[in-house]
């Protein structure tokens, strides 16, 4: 049956006798199987080289198809459940689903659904059976992906406070290369939003003709108009996710150009821009991602409280400015760290300065005053930027809608020396971590250490590939790739005593057994003329320090098309809720060096059995 079906699809293309490489590729696509061009080209070349020609006949094509598609490991599995090695009855498919795929609920209906979806041969499909061709297509499909199908859509409770989620966040989103001389480009925003990023950074500076510009200040990076950035965000904000986008403004503009920014935000974003509280004006808890669907929030410094801003809503505040006074202190890691603001207002109506229990400044402190246009200040609702002083100070003074940004160097010290206090802080306040200034080549830090203490916005340079962005992309595959992931209960609970260094009673040990079976159509080595590689696989766990682990497979010599390992690896994961697993395929170039071929990272709890 399979042969008849196969010939019926391809014989038309062989009317003139033989076909070339291009038509071979087209024909393979017609058979609806994923093919890698370099591998097809290699197998094709091997076939024609024997005869010194550049065309193949129908039997050659069948041999190429079988060489690539009819994988021996699939055959072995099929034979176990198909006594005649030709057809799988639906009862046998149910047995396979239960035994191999651990689908305990599987029944005849499940099997029939799979047959109708994947069986390409009509008469087999009508008999509610499965051929080897259907079996291959099923095993190569997303339904058999290692990533759980039910995690491909939003499945978590989206009604918790914004503070209770990890939020996909980008640093200096406008840069697409390095931090000093490279281009700023609108593509930075488009690509981050299309990857599900929900917190974007915009560095704003005064531009000519009263037009604010976006670039990395005091560097030679190119400039783009603020208005263009907002137009791009307006266009792409909700393509990948319905959940709120937060614009983190690093604002260096004069009050006059801040008013221009406020105008652009209101006019371009329209109803998408959040300009007032949802429900109560008195804010005691942040709203949920669900309540803020399709909304864009502005994160910036703010004069006074949300309540005061709301009272001003219908007044024209053009020309009015407020002043925020900070004690600026150069801390030991050379990151500027400012004491709590003392707010004053100037403009049409003076009001008493709001002295926020500010502790006396330490040595090396100088007063810094920042002028803020009231028009822009009033657009800040639930995401008010607040200088971080200390965990104690925040606990005593900070409001739930005030967020802190902490540089990676300082944050790493907190993780090391006061992890419990850090967890307590991030359970109450949105905390953003950003790369240190010396990462001029746009390199990234490992985000895992800050997720481990519950930091919501761990901002990375999205333009820089590498393990750090692979962890970011892997983590945010979860929950439908919507950019918001509910933090584990022990990172949301205000009374939590969780520490990543000593998980104690928060441990829920999980035994993980991974059987590495085979690879298929791996990228060949850059050094190989003959489409070969010597592949090996590293399996890594990222999580709390105790869970960090790495295991390595053996090397399969000269086989990028279909290496077979059949090795089993076991891990014990203490805190699976925070753990990611990374499969990295490398080509062994020499005893001391490997070349990266590809990787896949996903949350441990999103792993599919089977």
Of 166, 162, 188, 165, nearest to 175 by C-alpha is 188
pLDDT for the residue 338: 33
Q: What tokens does 181 get?
A: 């001389």
Q: Can you give the pLDDT at residue 51? A: 79
pLDDT at 311: 85
Q: CB within 8 A of 489, min separation 6: which ones?
A: none
CA 216/CA 179 separation, integer angstroms: 7
Q: Alpha-carbon Rg of the chain, whole angstroms?
A: 29
Interacting residues of 256 by C-beta distance below 8 A, sequence separation 6+: 210, 373
The answer to whether the CB of 553 falls within 8 A of the CB of 594 is no
Pairwise pLDDT comparison (352 vs 253), residue with the higher score: 253
Q: What is the pLDDT of residue 308?
A: 87
Check whether 6 has a pLDDT greater than 80.
yes
Spatial separation of the C-alpha atoms in residues 469 and 297, rounded to whole Å: 25
72 three-class SS? helix
In tens, the pLDDT along 515-553 reads 999 999 998 887 777 778 999 999 999 999 999 999 999
Query: What token pair was written down for 360?
Result: 């006396």
- Average pLDDT over every residue of 225-249: 98
Query: pLDDT at residue 331 above 70?
Result: no
Q: Do 329 and 339 meet the contact criterion of CB atoms below 8 Å apart?
A: yes
What is d(CA 253, CA 265) in angstroms, rounded to the nearest whole number? 15
Residue 361 is given by DSSP the state P
| Helices 58-69/2-10 angle, 10° precision | 120
Per-residue pLDDT band at 329 (split at 50, 70, 90): low
Query: DSSP strand E in 179-244: where?
Result: 199-205, 213-214, 224-225
Residue 355 has pLDDT above 90, yes or no: no
Residue 341 in this model has a pLDDT that exceeds 70: no
What is the model's pLDDT at position 328?
A: 61
The arithmetic mean of pLDDT across residues 88-110, rounded, is 95
Task: Enumerate residues 6+ apart whose C-beta is below 8 A from 313.
Answer: 275, 276, 378
What pLDDT does 578 receive? 98
| CB-facing half-sphere around the CA of 551: CA atoms within 13 A | 16
How big is the CA angle at 451 (ends 450 and 457), to the nearest 5 degrees?
A: 85
Do 229 and 214 contact (CB within 8 A), yes or no?
Answer: yes
Q: Which residue has tokens 């399709």?
A: 294
Q: Where does the pLDDT of residue 573 fall: very low under 50, low under 70, confident under 90, or very high at 90 and above?
A: very high
Distance CA 464, CA 451 (A): 19
CA separation for the pair 165, 158 (Å, rounded): 9
Candidates 495, 286, 304; CA nearest to 395 is 495
DSSP E strand stretches across 189-301? 199-205, 213-214, 224-225, 245-251, 296-299
Active site residues: 171, 216
DSSP letters spanning 291-315: TTTT-EEEEB--SS-HHHHHHTTTS
Produce one character per residue of 421-444: b if its CB has 16 or more CB atoms within 10 Å, e if not: bbbbbbbbbbbbbbbbeebeebbb
Note the pLDDT of residue 358.
Answer: 46
For the segment 383-431, what is each residue's pLDDT rounded down to a tens digit? 999 999 999 999 999 999 999 999 999 999 999 999 999 999 999 999 9
- Residue found under tokens 């750090």: 468
With cut-offs at 50, 70 and 90, classify the pLDDT of residue 344: very low
Q: What gap in Å lies between CA 444 and CA 441, rounded to an integer?
A: 9
Residue-level length of the chain: 610
Range 72-84 average pLDDT: 95
The rounded mean pLDDT for the chain is 91
Q: Which of 54-58, 297-301, 490-494 has the lowest mean pLDDT?
A: 54-58
pLDDT over 90 percentage in the chain: 80
Distance in angstroms (rounded) separating the CA atoms of residues 563 and 518: 6
First to last CA, the chain: 29
pLDDT class of 87 with cuts at 50, 70, 90: very high
For 44-58, write each residue's pLDDT tens digit.
998 888 777 889 999
Angle at 118 (CA atoms; ends 115, 124), nearest 5 degrees? 55
CA 300 to chain centre: 24
Burial 79-96 (b: 16+ CB within 10 A, else e): eebbeeeebbbbebbbbb
**Angle at alpha carbon of residue 102, lines to 100 and 107, rounded to 5°:** 95
Distance between CA atoms of residues 198 and 302, nearest Å? 21
Note the pLDDT of residue 327. 64
**pLDDT higher than threshold 50 for residue 346:** no
Whether the full predicted model's pTM is greater than 0.95, yes or no, is: no
CA of residue 571 relative to chain centroid, distance: 24
Asked whether 435 and 408 are in contact (CB, 8 A), the reply is yes
């Amino acid at each position: 049956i399979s042969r008849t079906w196969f010939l019926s699809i391809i014989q038309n293309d062989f009317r003139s006798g033989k076909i070339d490489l291009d038509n071979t590729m087209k024909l393979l696509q017609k058979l609806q199987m994923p093919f890698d061009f370099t591998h097809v080209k290699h197998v094709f070349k091997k076939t024609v080289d024997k005869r010194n020609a550049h065309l193949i006949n129908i039997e050659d094509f069948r041999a190429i198809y079988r060489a690539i598609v009819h994988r021996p490991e699939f055959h072995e599995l099929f034979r176990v459940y198909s006594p005649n090695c030709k057809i799988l009855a639906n009862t046998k498919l149910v047995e396979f689903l239960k035994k191999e795929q651990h689908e305990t609920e599987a029944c005849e209906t499940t099997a029939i659904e799979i047959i109708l979806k994947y069986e390409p041969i009509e008469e087999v499909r009508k008999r509610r059976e499965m051929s080897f061709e259907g079996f291959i297509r099923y095993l190569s499909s997303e339904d058999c992906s290692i990533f759980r199908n039910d995690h491909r859509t939003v499945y978590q409770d989206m009604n918790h406070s914004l503070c209770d989620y990890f939020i996909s966040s980008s640093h200096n989103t406008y840069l697409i290369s390095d931090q000093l001389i490279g281009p700023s480009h609108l593509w930075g925003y488009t690509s981050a939003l299309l990857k599900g990023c929900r917190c974007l950074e915009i560095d704003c500076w005064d531009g000519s003709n009263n037009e604010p510009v976006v670039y990395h200040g005091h560097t030679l990076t190119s400039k783009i108009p603020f208005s263009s950035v907002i137009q791009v965000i307006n266009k792409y904000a909700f393509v990948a996710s319905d959940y709120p986008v937060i614009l983190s403004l690093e604002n260096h503009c004069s009050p006059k150009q801040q008013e221009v920014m406020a105008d652009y935000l209101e006019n371009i974003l329209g109803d998408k821009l959040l300009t007032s509280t949802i429900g109560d004006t008195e804010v005691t808890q942040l709203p949920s991602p669900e309540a803020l669907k399709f909304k864009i929030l502005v994160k910036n410094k703010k004069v006074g409280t949300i309540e005061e801003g709301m009272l001003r809503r219908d007044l024209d505040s053009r020309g009015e400015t407020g002043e925020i006074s900070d004690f600026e202190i150069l801390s030991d890691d050379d990151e500027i760290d400012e004491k709590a603001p003392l707010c004053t207002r100037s403009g049409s109506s003076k009001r008493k300065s709001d002295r926020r229990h500010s502790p006396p400044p330490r040595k090396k402190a100088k007063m810094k005053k920042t002028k803020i246009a009231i028009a822009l200040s009033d657009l800040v609702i639930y995401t008010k930027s607040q200088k971080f002083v200390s965990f104690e100070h925040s606990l005593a003074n900070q409001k739930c809608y005030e967020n802190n940004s902490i540089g990676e160097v300082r944050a790493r010290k907190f993780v090391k020396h006061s992890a419990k206090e850090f967890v307590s802080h991030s359970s109450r306040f949105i905390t953003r971590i950003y790369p240190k200034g010396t990462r001029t080549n746009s390199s990234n830090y490992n985000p895992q250490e800050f997720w481990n203490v519950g930091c919501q916005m761990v901002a990375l340079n999205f333009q820089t590939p590498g393990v750090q962005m692979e962890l970011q992309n892997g983590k945010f595959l979860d929950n439908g790739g919507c950019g918001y992931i509910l933090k584990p209960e022990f990172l949301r609970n205000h009374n939590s005593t969780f520490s990543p260094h000593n998980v104690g009673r928060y441990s829920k040990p999980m035994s993980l057994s991974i059987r590495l079976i085979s690879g298929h159509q791996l990228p060949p080595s850059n050094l190989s003329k003959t489409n070969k590689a010597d592949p090996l696989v590293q399996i890594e766990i990222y999580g709390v320090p105790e869970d960090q682990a790495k295991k390595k497979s053996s090397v399969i010599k000269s086989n990028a098309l279909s290496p077979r390992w059949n090795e089993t690896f076991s891990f014990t994961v203490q805190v699976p809720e925070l753990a990611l697993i990374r499969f990295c395929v490398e080509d062994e170039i020499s005893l001391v060096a490997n070349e990266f071929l590809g990787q896949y990272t996903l949350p441990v709890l999103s792993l599919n059995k089977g």
